[in-house]
Structure 1
Amino acid sequence: MALLCCTGGAGAFMLTSLGGDEDPVYSLASSDCGQGGPVKADGSMPRIGAYDKSKMRNAAIIINVGAQMSVPPRGWVIAVATAMQESGLSNLPNLGARNDHDSIGLFQQRPSQGWGTAAQVRDPAYAARKFYEKLLKVKNWQRLPLTDAAQKVQVSAFPDAYAKHEPIATEIVNLLANGAARSAMDAGNPRCAEGSEIAASGWGAPIPGSPGSGFRTADRPKHNGVDIGAAKRTPIHAAAAGRVLVSRCDPDNAGRLSCDSDGWPGKGGCGWFVDILHAGNIITRYCHMIQQPKVHKGDLVQAGEVIGIVGSSGNSSGPHLHFEVHLNGDRSSRGAINPVPFMRERGAPLGRRE
């Protein structure tokens, strides 16, 4: 499987005008890392859902400030998602009794808490810079779940509210910065994530290796995921941050809990497996582990955290990881989608080299 990679500097996205009522003209000197976004050099600003051109302009300013500060693209996603929660990407004035104390601007920063003067925090570029300055001081911020990283900056009364914005924030960054959320987290030269790296979207491949048996093929129409061959005891990584929903042995066709030995075709069951719930009500599934998973139901895991090791338990003909992606929080076959394009769109293509 060919890798889709990008080149160019983290500062390649540049707004050429930030003042007045006109849309900024922006250009990109790099190619994308994945499918790319429809960057418009004519100065018009795209729209995503409820986010009109004025709100997208604010998102563009946030991204541009991050690029100028050499903040890795993961930070752009976190910053845009935070502003989506705090202000809906609107540069809010002091709303009086409708506001939280003296919270102002894109990030609802409070002058009384040392963020700056009222005029300063209503300047989108200033507000974004202050957000990034504090984010960069958070230990391990690139690996933290987005909602945790945002909360350490904002200290919000609603610390779990940021996570729901991650998918759309990722889409906005990809659209405005030509696929930047698909790049590796490192600043300098954005590129496709490889090995154990996590893309700026917050996603990474669970193991190296290319899918073999595909999603719902003609000969296996009920195969709701893909199989990635790997040696026994290869570490399996959480594809993104989330909460463990299931961590157990799946009964075989005879109703037996026999996951501590190799399986065979037709035995039935997922063997030792884990389901993880991610932002956007997305669920990933990891099957056929060699032993009890390293995580338990209810655990919060970080992107890239080792959750188990490859085996051949359950309905299996040899060591491999059966990997599934489900939408809308639906763990059944109805919610399953093809993981290959899903992961590719997030800058974590299945089939990367070790």
Structure 2
Amino acid sequence: MSGTAEGLARAYAKRWLWKAAAPVAVPVFGVLTLLLIPLAVLAAPEASPAAASSVCSIGGTGATVAGTDLNAVQMGHAQTIVTVAAAQELDPYAATVALATAYQESRIRMLANDGSSPELTAEQAAVTATSLTYPHDGLGSDHDSVNTFQQRWIAGWGTVAQLMDPVYAAEAFYRRLVAVPDWRAMPLTQAAQAVQVSAYGGAYARWEPLARELTAMLWPTTQATAADGSGAAAGVCPDLPVPAGSWIRPTAGTFTSGYGSRWGALHAGVDIAGPRDTPVYAAADGIVVTAACTSAYCDRDGSLSLPGYGNLVELDHGGGVTTRYAHLSAYTVNAGQGVSAGALLGFQGSTGNSTGVHLHFEVRLDGASVDPVPWLADRGVDLHAATAG
């Protein structure tokens, strides 16, 4: 994959892999002293990812395609599949085959597997069940099959950890597709079956109209992003309707870590963790001071050895008040831009010094961090609530 193509794929389809261990983060930005280094702790439990991001995601809002209703989670997975095709310099037909396959196999959802199939040995069942430790939209139980394409680790598609990464899953599908002789000249259902070797090989044809229309809808977005390998992304989600002058909770998800001392340093904000690419909104009216990658790289998840906030948006609200939104998978605003409360800023991710998907959110007064919980509570906002707004 070329550098440009890989940048495109990662810009729109950042990897969803969460660590099974409690994630922590230690962002370092500019000349902040260690006393202001935030340390993020435990990422959100995977309780109900579809519900938490069913309104909008990096893939956009839900849509009706060829008479079929797709929610934002499905649209996000579809965008990943299309983007990976473009990143591998394939044509739209490859994406169409992949989308029809994914809809037949999982309804374009990331499925885990609890290992309950009687076809599995106890050891195989235990390995298969590890898929439950990764973000997923539902459960399947067909042998050891997992993910949007129902790929099998026993059949050599990859490890369970790899297969639960939507980008890897799409890449694996395309690797096998392009190995099929004359696949471009085949009817869609035959090309899909050559990859999947399914017991229901003719079933893919039913979803060809859906897949063609979905590809036509998403391919232009992928092409438009090709020239920009940064963390910037199109603002595909609608802003939240917020009264002027109001403050809001900036994202949906579980409150996982508060403000205060963490292992001898100050965690200078709070952490809210939802599914990857959950929208992040401006907490109040302001001017964008920073919208940039603040680490050595932001085109993939970070690690504890990587300094910085990753993709960071900082807003100036006037009167010495600023807010920071860190570890974003992508951002949708530019420095100098004015935004209203509820404006889309970006999407939850794990860029920079982080090992778990979440939003690290800070409130600062004249540059010094304050606890966002009581500060926003005084303005009628409960950061412990589950939803944005």
Q: Is the pair's TM-score, using the shorter chain for normalization, greater than 0.5?
A: no
More strand by share: 2
Please give the TM-score of this superposition, normalised by the length of structure 1: 0.40
More helix by share: 2
Please give the TM-score of this superposition, normalised by the length of structure 2: 0.36
